[in-house]
Amino acid sequence: PNICVMISGNGSNLQAIIDWVEAGKINANIACVISNRPDAYGLERARNAGIEAICLDHKQYDDRESYDQALLTTLDSYQPDCVVLAGFMRILTSEFVEHFSGRLLNIHPSLLPKYKGLNTHQRALDNGDDEHGLSVHFVTPELDGGPVIIQCKVPVFEDDNADALAQRVQEQERSIYPLVVHWYCSGRLKMNNNKALLDGKVL
Ligand code: GRF
């Protein structure tokens, strides 16, 4: 399978996926990495791995529709079986999401349906939660609302702050996201009727 990864920043999830592909633990070709920000360190990670690194700067486009159309056209030229959102920090139009429906994965740093959107770690702290975590889900037009594939919990400690909590979550992200991409690339994971299925069973 061909996969394309979309990023906006550091790209630690991208790196984990690259590492799994290089180790033969994901049977896929990373066809390209696309960032909406020119300064995203993840672009360098892609180049270092010999992967095509593309910047499509959203600031060069008049509106979300034209930007997402450019993204879609670029991605389509790589014929992706799967588009992996790995810290891509922009809301996508429903046209884009529907075009890649069933092929579009995202990782979100909260135990969905809790804390959709931004600043999830601080919100978990502010609410006095004693656990927090991450979710990997199929993307549907509802923001952070698509069917959940897997979640991973981490504890929240008494003296925590948002940075420490984010690090604890990201450490788990680096093993969970490649696993899900592996499931997808080996044909085990599908989306059907707005449900995530693994080996034909609803998750
Ligand atoms: C991750 O915490 C992910 O859950 C969120 O953005 C962050 C991306 O980190 N959507 P990185 O760019 O993969 O290091």
**CA separation for the pair 10, 167 (Å, rounded):** 13
Question: Which token pair is 88?
Answer: 């891509």
Task: Render each residue's pLDDT in the chain as its tens digit; 203 residues.
Answer: 999 999 999 999 999 999 999 999 999 999 999 999 999 999 999 999 999 999 999 999 999 999 999 999 999 999 999 999 999 999 999 999 999 999 999 999 999 999 999 999 999 999 999 999 999 999 999 999 999 999 999 999 999 999 999 999 999 999 999 999 999 999 999 999 999 999 999 99
Contact 49, 22 (CB under 8 A): yes
Q: List the helix and strand counts (H, then E) for the chain.
A: 6, 10
Cα of 60 vs centre of ligand 1, distance in Å, is 24
- Active site residue ranges: 108
ipTM of this complex: 0.96
Of 85, 6, 79, the C-alpha closest to 46 is: 6
Check pocket membership of 120 for ligand 1, CB cut-off 6 A: no
Distances (CA, A) of 103 to 35, 59, 124, 172, 191: 18, 26, 30, 23, 8
Question: Which token pair is 56?
Answer: 């499509």
Taking CA atoms only, the protein residue closest to ligand 1 atom 6 is 87
Distances (CA, A) of 56 to 135, 176, 187: 27, 27, 30
Quickly name the fold that domain 2-202 has: Rossmann fold (3.40.50)
**CA separation for the pair 29, 141 (Å, rounded):** 27
Contact 86, 177 (CB under 8 A): yes
Domain ranges of the chain: 2-202
Cα of 11 vs centre of ligand 1, distance in Å, is 7
Cα of 38 vs centre of ligand 1, distance in Å, is 17
Instruction: Determine how many CB atoms are found less than 10 A away from the CB of residue 195.
Output: 13
